[in-house]
């Protein structure tokens, strides 16, 4: 097949734009020889569960799926009865970016709370955690948080523990959307279990695609009592891979050693380089009218730009508006972002903002 794209092009729209890490691609090829039992009874899926136990603790169980939406929808569905509801930040991916799948596919009521930084607190949870026993209200039974958040911020282990203790004290469970879990770990300098299982998370969506995989995510059950029927719900929701060994092999390649951490740390470092370059330009006057709207704690940079600047920058580099009404944009770095990509983009920002 002839390559149809320019392999030299890099953008800052999403870490989904990046390709497959060579080690992950090699793992797929390794798993491709001969025949293996389908639907998860293969040696690679068995090995993945050993890897997950190493990362998250004995008894943690992984259910590989195709994508993050599938992981969130099926994982949450397994945590709730039909009358259950989920308390989440208004900016949560399950609320904003999953096309209504939690509601339409899983039949889950979302009870959302506005936040300044994408993070929930026990006090914010309490805005929607009420009405138990009232047949007129969907019953709030799960709190869902994202790590790192959709605004690029990171929960500390203490913040996760406070939410877990609060939720459990109310008879609720804690779910974590970990599409960028590795970026959070790299930012915190902690092992994965330190702010998941050890902090009281019950069920986790474990990301792979944004960190060098092709199409590999997993639902990780950290407390078996918090989830029921996943074996059946995964099939019911069209997330059961027949050739599951190829999904599991990708996650093994990422999480067996430290590839997940190296990839995420590099993406975070590139985001920090981007922010530092812009800050230097603001200080010396070469960049004008740019302000940061969120702290840069993982691999995303959020900023406001002068009117018209975003569209001019997008003539060369693709990225998304976050809040067009206030000229806020999001720039995301990936495992394969190069320092030269960052430096060229900072120069573009200086060129465009000095002229508007």
CATH of the domain at 46: 3.40.640.10
User: Considering the domain boundaries, does residue 6 fall inside one?
Assistant: no
**Residues 100 and 244 occupy one common structural domain:** yes
User: Of 195, 161, 176, 193, whose CA–CA distance to 72 is shortest?
Assistant: 176
**Residues 170 and 319 occupy one common structural domain:** no
Q: How far is the C-alpha of 14 from the C-alpha of 300, rounded, in Å?
A: 9
Strands (E), 222-319: 291-292, 300-304
Report yes or no: 233 and 81 within 8 Å, Cβ to Cβ. Answer: no
Report yes or no: 109 and 81 within 8 Å, Cβ to Cβ. Answer: no
User: Considering the domain boundaries, does residue 5 fall inside one?
Assistant: no
Q: Which helix (H) or strand (E) segment is 63 a member of?
A: strand 61-65
**Residues 84 and 219 occupy one common structural domain:** yes
Q: How far is the C-alpha of 26 from the C-alpha of 178, rounded, in Å?
A: 24
204 C-beta neighbours (distance < 10 Å), count: 27
Residue written as tokens 């060098």?
212
User: Considering the domain boundaries, does residue 131 fall inside one?
Assistant: yes
pLDDT at 226: 98
Q: How far is the C-alpha of 64 from the C-alpha of 220, rounded, in Å?
A: 8
**Residues 251 and 267 occupy one common structural domain:** no
Q: Is 234 exposed, middle or buried (0-12, 13-18, 19+ CB in 10 A)?
A: buried
Measured CA angle at 76 (ends 51, 195), to 5 deg: 50
95 C-beta neighbours (distance < 10 Å), count: 19
Q: Which helix (H) or strand (E) segment is 111 a member of?
A: strand 109-113
Residue written as tokens 């799960």?
142
pLDDT at 8: 87
Residue written as tokens 């990509």?
341
User: Of 253, 255, 252, 264, whose CA–CA distance to 211 is shortest?
Assistant: 264
pLDDT at 355: 82
The pair of three-digit structure tokens given for residue 294, joined into one six-digit string: 């969120």
**Residues 99 and 146 occupy one common structural domain:** yes
pLDDT at 297: 98
Measured CA angle at 207 (ends 344, 39), to 5 deg: 135
**Residues 54 and 203 occupy one common structural domain:** yes
The pair of three-digit structure tokens given for residue 90, joined into one six-digit string: 């208004």
User: Considering the domain boundaries, does residue 316 fall inside one?
Assistant: yes
Boundary residue ending a domain (237, 256, 275): 256
Give the domain CATH number at 277: 3.90.1150.10
Question: Into how many domains does the chain fold?
Answer: 2
Q: How far is the C-alpha of 356 from the C-alpha of 191, rounded, in Å?
A: 45
CA atoms within 13 A on the CB side of 148: 27
Boundary residue ending a domain (239, 256, 273): 256
pLDDT at 276: 98
**Residues 120 and 200 occupy one common structural domain:** yes
Boundary residue ending a domain (256, 274, 293): 256
**Residues 88 and 186 occupy one common structural domain:** yes
User: Considering the domain boundaries, does residue 323 fall inside one?
Assistant: yes
Phi, psi at residue 60, to the nearest 5°?
Answer: -65, 135
pLDDT at 9: 86
Domain that holds residue 275: 260-353
How confident is the prediction for the chain on average, in pLDDT?
97
**Residues 241 and 265 occupy one common structural domain:** no
Q: How far is the C-alpha of 107 from the C-alpha of 101, rounded, in Å?
A: 8
**Residues 249 and 264 occupy one common structural domain:** no
Cα-to-chain-centroid distance, residue 48: 20
User: Considering the domain boundaries, does residue 12 fall inside one?
Assistant: no
**Residues 123 and 42 occupy one common structural domain:** yes
Question: Each residue's pLDDT tens digit in the chain (356 positions)?
Answer: 999 998 888 899 999 999 999 999 999 999 999 999 999 999 999 999 999 999 999 999 999 999 999 999 999 999 999 999 999 999 999 999 999 999 999 999 999 999 999 999 999 999 999 999 999 999 999 999 999 999 999 999 999 999 999 999 999 999 999 999 999 999 999 999 999 999 999 999 999 999 999 999 999 999 999 999 999 999 999 999 999 999 999 999 999 999 999 999 999 999 999 999 999 999 999 999 999 999 999 999 999 999 999 999 999 999 999 999 999 999 999 999 999 999 999 999 999 999 87
**Residues 133 and 91 occupy one common structural domain:** yes
User: Considering the domain boundaries, does residue 20 fall inside one?
Assistant: no
């Amino acid at each position: 097949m002839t390559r149809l794209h320019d392999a030299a092009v890099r953008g800052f729209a999403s870490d989904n734009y990046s390709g497959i890490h060579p080690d992950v691609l090699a793992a797929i090829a390794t798993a491709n020889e001969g025949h293996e039992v389908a639907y998860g009874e293969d040696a690679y899926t068995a090995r993945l569960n050993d890897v997950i136990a190493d990362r998250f603790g004995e008894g943690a169980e992984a259910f590989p799926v195709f994508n993050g939406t599938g992981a969130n929808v099926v994982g949450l569905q397994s945590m709730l009865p039909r009358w259950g509801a989920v308390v989440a930040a208004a900016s949560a991916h399950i609320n904003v970016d999953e096309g209504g799948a939690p509601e339409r596919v899983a039949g889950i009521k979302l009870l959302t709370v506005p936040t300044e930084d994408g993070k929930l607190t026990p006090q914010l949870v309490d805005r929607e955690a009420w009405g138990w026993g009232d047949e007129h209200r969907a019953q709030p039974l799960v709190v869902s948080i994202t790590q790192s958040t959709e605004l690029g911020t990171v929960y500390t282990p203490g913040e996760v523990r406070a939410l877990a203790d609060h939720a459990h004290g109310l008879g609720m469970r804690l779910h974590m959307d970990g599409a960028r879990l590795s970026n959070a770990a790299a930012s915190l300098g902690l092992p994965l279990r330190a702010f998941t299982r050890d902090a009281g998370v019950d069920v986790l969506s474990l990301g792979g695609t944004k960190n060098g995989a092709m199409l590999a995510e997993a639902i990780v059950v950290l407390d078996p009592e918090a989830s029921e029927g996943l074996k059946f719900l995964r099939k019911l929701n069209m997330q059961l891979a027949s050739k599951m060994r190829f999904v599991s092999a990708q996650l093994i390649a990422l999480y067996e050693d430290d590839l997940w951490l190296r990839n995420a740390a590099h993406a975070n470092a590139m985001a920090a380089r981007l922010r530092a370059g812009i800050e230097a330009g603001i200080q010396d006057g070469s960049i004008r009218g740019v302000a940061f709207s969120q702290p840069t704690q993982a691999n995303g940079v959020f900023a406001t730009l002068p009117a018209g600047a975003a569209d001019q920058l997008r003539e060369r580099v693709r990225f998304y508006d976050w809040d067009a009404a206030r000229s806020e944009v999001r720039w995301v770095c990936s495992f394969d972002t190069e320092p030269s990509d960052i430096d060229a983009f900072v120069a573009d920002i200086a060129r465009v903002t000095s002229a508007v």
